[in-house]
């Protein structure tokens, strides 16, 4: 989920503290302010960077930042720009950011997307006849060709004019039965359960809070995080917590991944303090609590108020709620939620026994479609873009492990299974604070990261 910023939750509620197991880094701070202006000459100049026009002073203000193309630069103590490592995606105000390379294009279902100058995908209008390589397909098609419009199988009517029409006889794939549309054959394929990921890794438990320990945690089944805030669905209430990292080892540094068993950052865990900031009520505040949630700076998106495929947006400041997606077919439960920042797509998981599939929202057709059937039952879902590579992964939580999946051109691949030392049942999975996962289990809240997870989360 989003990593930076602190959600505005209104006035502070009653707070209490509880100290979790340990360590996790702070969730990113605000960017550096622009430098003070240089001495501008008659021709002007870049005052923000402190550079000069004709007749102005040269150099830059020590500590200021700028971008030179994709390369971040920092002004050193002598007033000279020093270049850092070129950004993988975009450079904005002297800092690497984004999830895509500016100017590139892609498709998200039937919606073409282009990458803006800040490295973020921007949607164009959905294509009525499908999207290919970031552009809408031509209306024209050839006799004998098939197309998938969400769950509906279409065939080409050569016309003239040529156009896509529902296949005759009509054929609609059922995501509740793990069916997916095959545009090559014009049929509904039955998805099979994927094999357990063959690559085995280990992450670590850094924080653990339990209802019966007398601390701040009040219980909850679904969770997400934004900045240093943790949002937990407690049924009739939505609780907002703040998690703070302590310098337990006294070395003057906050080390979120430091752990006695973490070979990448060995040392004592830094303690965490969990404080209840505020609680919102489903009845009086109108929070559409139902399934899992996705946190942003000023709002929450939640599968609710019922888990029938309806995704609702709820704004903190106004307490206004609106629907983002409509319901799912009968028999399809949507309890878990994730958002792909790389493909701008919503993902949902069906809570139940093994064999329940992962879904995605097809914006063009306005319906949920099947993606794959994970190796285990879904007890939590997250979608995270790896900062180093820009690759997007779906994470499925089980009991004592998190499975990692990736969408490849040929389909979904099971990549890794990350184990961790926690044997209680999971009911929700989030990501955010300290660049770690956050897991709920009804009466418990657990922070997981470090170890083999690091290369995908940092």
In percent, the amount of the chain with pLDDT more than 70 equals 86
Tokens of residue 409, six digits = 């051109």
Give the CATH number of domain 17-27+195-457: 2.120.10
In the three-class reduction of DSSP (H, G, I as helix; E, B as strand; rest coil), residue 433 is classed as helix
Tokens of residue 247, six digits = 């310098």
Burial class (CB in 10 A: 0-12, 13-18, 19+), 23: buried
What are the backbone dihedrals phi and psi of residue 199, each rounded to the nearest 5 degrees, phi first? -80, 125
Burial class (CB in 10 A: 0-12, 13-18, 19+), 244: middle
DSSP 219: -
Cα angle vertex 102, ends 98, 108, to 5°? 75
What residue spans define the domains of the chain? 17-27+195-457, 105-190
Q: What is the pLDDT of residues 384-434, one digit of tens each?
A: 999 988 899 999 999 899 999 999 988 999 999 999 988 778 999 999 999
- Cβ 254 vs Cβ 242: under 8 Å: no
Residue that has been written with the tokens 């002004």 in this structure: 75
pLDDT-derived band at 353 (thresholds 50, 70, 90) equals low
Which DSSP string corresponds to 57-102? PPS--TT-EEEETTEEEEE-TTS-EEE-PPPSSEEETTEEE-SS-T
CA distance 69 to 51: 17
Number of residues in the chain: 458
Above 50 in pLDDT, residue 12? no
In percent, the amount of the chain with pLDDT more than 90 equals 71
Q: Give the range among 82-96, 316-330, 373-387 with minimum mean pLDDT.
A: 316-330
pLDDT-derived band at 39 (thresholds 50, 70, 90) equals very low
CA distance 56 to 47: 10
CA distance 205 to 260: 11
Above 80 in pLDDT, residue 47? no
Q: Are strands 411-419 and 199-202 parallel, antiparallel or unpaired?
A: parallel
Above 60 in pLDDT, residue 78? yes
Q: Are strands 81-83 and 146-149 parallel, antiparallel or unpaired?
A: unpaired
pLDDT of 352: 65
Cα angle vertex 200, ends 195, 204, to 5°? 130
Nearest C-alpha neighbor of 207 from the set 146, 251, 248: 248
pTM for the full predicted model: 0.75
Tokens of residue 72, six digits = 């971040």
pLDDT-derived band at 303 (thresholds 50, 70, 90) equals very high
Cis, bond preceding 182 (omega within 30 deg of 0): no
CA distance 50 to 25: 33
In the three-class reduction of DSSP (H, G, I as helix; E, B as strand; rest coil), residue 204 is classed as strand
In the three-class reduction of DSSP (H, G, I as helix; E, B as strand; rest coil), residue 175 is classed as helix
What are the backbone dihedrals phi and psi of residue 126, each rounded to the nearest 5 degrees, phi first? -55, 145
Q: What is the pLDDT of residues 439-452, one digit of tens each?
A: 999 999 999 999 99
Cis, bond preceding 145 (omega within 30 deg of 0): no
Distance of CA 14 to the CA centre of its chain: 30
For residue 77, CA distances in Å to 67, 82, 93, 324 come to 18, 10, 19, 50
Distance of CA 258 to the CA centre of its chain: 24
| pLDDT mean over 143-167 | 93
Nearest C-alpha neighbor of 456 from the set 402, 378, 379, 380: 402
Q: Determine what percent of the chain falls in helix, strand and coil, rounding each to the nearest 5.
A: 5, 40, 55
pLDDT-derived band at 58 (thresholds 50, 70, 90) equals low
Q: What is the pLDDT of residues 207-240, one digit of tens each?
A: 999 998 889 999 999 999 999 999 999 999 999 9
How many CB atoms are located within 10 Å of the residue 325 CB? 20
Q: Report which secondary-structure segment, H or E, holds 438.
A: strand 437-440
């Amino acid at each position: 989920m989003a990593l930076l910023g602190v959600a505005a939750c209104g006035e502070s509620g009653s707070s209490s503290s509880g100290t979790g197991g340990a360590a996790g880094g702070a969730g990113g701070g605000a960017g550096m302010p622009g430098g003070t202006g240089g001495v501008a000459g008659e021709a002007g100049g870049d005052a923000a960077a402190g550079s000069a026009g004709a007749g102005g002073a040269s150099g830059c203000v020590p500590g200021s930042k700028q971008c030179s193309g994709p390369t971040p630069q920092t002004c050193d103590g002598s007033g000279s720009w020093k270049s850092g490592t070129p950004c993988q995606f975009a450079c904005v105000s002297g800092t690497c950011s984004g999830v895509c390379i500016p100017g590139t294009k892609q498709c998200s279902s039937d919606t073409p997307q282009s990458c803006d100058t800040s490295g973020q995908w921007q949607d164009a209008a959905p294509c009525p006849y499908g999207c290919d390589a970031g552009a809408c397909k031509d209306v024209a098609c050839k006799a004998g060709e098939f197309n998938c419009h969400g769950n509906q199988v279409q065939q080409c009517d050569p016309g003239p004019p040529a156009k896509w029409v529902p296949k005759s006889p009509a054929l609609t794939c059922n995501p509740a039965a793990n069916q997916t549309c095959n545009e090559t054959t014009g049929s509904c394929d039955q998805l099979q359960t994927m094999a357990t990921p063959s690559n085995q890794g280990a992450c670590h438990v850094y924080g653990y809070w339990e209802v019966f320990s007398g601390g701040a945690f009040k219980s909850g089944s679904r969770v997400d995080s934004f900045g240093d805030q943790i949002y937990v669905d407690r049924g009739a209430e939505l609780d907002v917590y703040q998690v703070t990292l302590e310098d337990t080892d006294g070395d003057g540094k906050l080390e979120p991944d430091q752990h006695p068993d973490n070979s990448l950052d060995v040392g004592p865990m830094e303690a965490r303090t969990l404080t209840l900031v505020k609680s919102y009520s489903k009845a009086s505040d109108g929070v559409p609590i139902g399934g899992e949630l996705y946190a942003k700076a000023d709002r929450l998106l939640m599968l609710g108020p019922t888990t029938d495929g309806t995704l609702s947006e709820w704004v903190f400041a106004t307490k206004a709620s609106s629907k983002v997606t409509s319901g799912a077919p009968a028999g399809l439960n949507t309890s878990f939620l994730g958002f792909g920042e790389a493909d701008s797509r919503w993902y949902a998981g069906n809570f139940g026994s093994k064999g329940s599939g992962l879904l995605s929202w097809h914006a063009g057709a306005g319906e949920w479609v099947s993606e794959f059937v994970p190796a285990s039952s879904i007890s939590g879902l997250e979608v995270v873009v790896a900062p180093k590579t820009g690759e997007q992964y779906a994470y499925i939580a089980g009991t004592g492990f998190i499975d990692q999946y990736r969408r490849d051109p040929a389909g979904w691949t099971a990549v890794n299974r990350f184990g961790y030392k926690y044997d209680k049942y999971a009911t929700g999975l989030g990501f955010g604070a300290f660049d770690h996962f956050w897991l709920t289990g009804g009466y418990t809240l657990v922070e997981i990261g470090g170890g083999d997870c690091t290369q995908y989360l940092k």
